[in-house]
Amino acid sequence: MARDSRRASVERNTKETQISVSINLDGTGICNVSTGIGFLDHMLEQLSRHSLVDLEVKAIGDLHIDFHHTTEDTGIAIGQAVKKALGSRAGIQRFGSALCPLDEALTRVVVDCSNRPYLIWKVKFSHPKLGDFDTELFREWFQAFAQAAGLTLHVENFYGENNHHIIESSYKALAKALRMAIEMDVRSSVSVPSTKGTLTDNKVK
């Protein structure tokens, strides 16, 4: 797939949320996000900036109930856009990994753009809330994103005390690992990185 065509737009409208997403996998990290949830916006800005994926997200959700639907559906919509932009996945590196610290916290993320969605989540928080945000919702976002994008995703926080630092290091590590995985392989720019010859179904190895 030509680099200038790795763009996608997705709209997801339900009774709970209305979300539009536009991405450019070969961008420069330009980000314009508005979900109504300040901390989620901050994390999506980290994802865009450190992956160099241009990201535009507009979300309106039932925040008068809680942040769950908007958080999860935003992960789904961004994941769908990534999947659409990757197309056949021909020529990509496919695998990526990153260790990212933030002060006392250290997190590792490993990504496989396998179209076999799976999440391993080894992240614990010391408090149920981060401001007004339920910390359990971070797993929901990563799960939704991995499932919709077709990613095998392993997230492991080794240590940390500050919950803000723990989750921000997780998003930054995701960004760096994703950047590596979706980068075009100059030695194999047209072939699909799988012995099956395809990454467009859920049975590849």
Are 111 and 97 in contact, with CB atoms under 8 Å apart?
Answer: yes
1 pLDDT exceeds 50?
no
Q: Is 148 contained in some domain?
A: yes
Q: Is 189 contained in some domain?
A: no
Q: How far apart are CA 25 and CA 4, in angstroms?
A: 9
Nearest 5°: the CA angle 152, 156, 158 is: 165
pLDDT of residue 190: 56
Q: What is the dihedral of CA 160, 165, 170, 173, to 10 degrees?
A: -100
Token pair 């010391």 is found at 126
* 17/194: higher pLDDT: 17
Q: How far apart are CA 97 and CA 183, in angstroms?
A: 12
Q: Is 100 contained in some domain?
A: yes
Are 204 and 116 in contact, with CB atoms under 8 Å apart?
Answer: yes
Q: Is 162 contained in some domain?
A: yes
Are 56 and 62 in contact, with CB atoms under 8 Å apart?
Answer: no
Full-model pTM: 0.91
Q: How far apart are CA 195 and CA 83, in angstroms?
A: 20
What percent of the chain shows pLDDT beyond 90? 85
Name the least confident of 52-61, 82-91, 196-205. Answer: 196-205
Q: How far apart are CA 183 and CA 51, in angstroms?
A: 10
**Predicted confidence (pLDDT) per residue in 91-139, tens digit:** 899 999 999 999 999 999 999 999 999 999 999 999 999 999 999 999 9
Q: What's the number of domains the chain is made of?
A: 1
Dihedral sign (CA 197, 53, 66, 124) = positive
Tell me which residue range forms the domain holding 170.
3-182
158 pLDDT exceeds 80?
yes
The domain that holds 46 is classified in CATH as 3.30.230.40
Q: How far apart are CA 1 and CA 6, in angstroms?
A: 7
Distance between first and last Cα of the chain: 21
Q: How far apart are CA 37 and CA 64, in angstroms?
A: 12
Q: Is 49 contained in some domain?
A: yes
**Predicted confidence (pLDDT) per residue in 2-17, tens digit:** 455 899 999 999 999 9
